[in-house]
Amino acid sequence: MEVSLYHTIGRLTRYWRTLKDLASEGETHVYSHLLAAKAQVTAAQVRRDLMVAGGTGTPARGYDVKKLCEHIEAFVFPTKEQKVAIAGLGNVGLAMLKFFIGQRPFLTIAASFEADHEKFDRVIGGCRCYSIEKAADVIRDEGITVGIIAVPDRESQYVADVFIKAGVRGILNFARTPLKAPEGVYVEDIDLATSMDRVAYFARQSLKSEVTETGRRSAGY
């Protein structure tokens, strides 16, 4: 996938969330500079992104909020049901199940998979859980094309291989092990621990800088 399109899709979803908030507040029109401020990009970048999605506005009134939402939805989101499977119903997996409820009308988690036999054939978080051994058959029968992997690191590649062989073409990976996937399968790795380490590191650096600056002012520098 093109790097530019990767970033464009991300920005369009941010604009969409802002537009939904504006619509709920009764706003009917919005200018590019407001969307830019919310997304922390330039107004020119917003206009370029919206042109990709087919959105147009006018200098006098800006963009029609409702129509722009519809343009972004048609470009970014599925227009008919697209099914998702999730492997692993630990803390992360259960959080994802709860997050998806009502978030996207046509993107739904249709099945979950576990190695824990106590969870087999139960409806958990509104989704039926199956043995991971049945994953290939369930994915094919349900027509699932998106997978979420929230299993221990040592099991992640095995699960990915099962998903891909069964027809999954997009994977959101919460395991810390980067996945190997063939061309044509999109994988996005989400490493929560690394992200937290990074945030904590820069928070410490900021505090050190503040202490150093305070010391310099106290010393009269």
* Average pLDDT taken over every residue of the chain: 90
For residues 208 and 66, the model is more confident at 66
pLDDT tens-digit readout, 149-185: 999 999 999 999 999 999 999 999 999 888 999 999 9
Residues in the chain: 221
Domains 3-76 and 82-190 share a fold: no
Q: In this model, does residue 59 exceed pLDDT 70?
A: yes
Query: Quick check: helix, strand or coil at residue 128?
Result: strand
Task: Give pLDDT tens digits for 69-83.
Answer: 999 999 998 888 899
pLDDT tens profile 4-13: 788 899 999 9
3-state secondary structure of 119: helix
Confidence check: pLDDT of 214 > 80: no
Q: What integer is the mean pLDDT of 92-115? A: 87
Measured from the Cβ of residue 114, the count of other Cβ atoms closer than 10 Å reads 21
Among 3.30.750.24, 1.10.10.10, 2.30.130.30, 3.40.1050.10, name the CATH number for the domain at 3-76: 1.10.10.10
What topology does CATH give the domain 82-190?
A: Rossmann fold (3.40.50)
Mean pLDDT confidence for 46-73: 93
d(CA 161, CA 149): 11
Instruction: Provide the pLDDT confidence category of residue 212 given band limits of 50, 70 and 90.
Output: low
Residue 104 has pLDDT above 80, yes or no: no
46's tokens: 């917003």
User: What per-residue confidence (pLDDT) applies to 211?
Assistant: 62
Is residue 12 within 8 A of residue 49, CB to CB? The reply is yes
DSSP 132: G
pLDDT of residue 193: 84
Query: Hunting for tokens 């073409």 — which residue is that?
Result: 169
**Rounded Cα gap, residues 197 and 150, in angstroms:** 19
Contact 132, 115 (CB under 8 A): yes
Domain ranges of the chain: 3-76, 82-190, 194-221
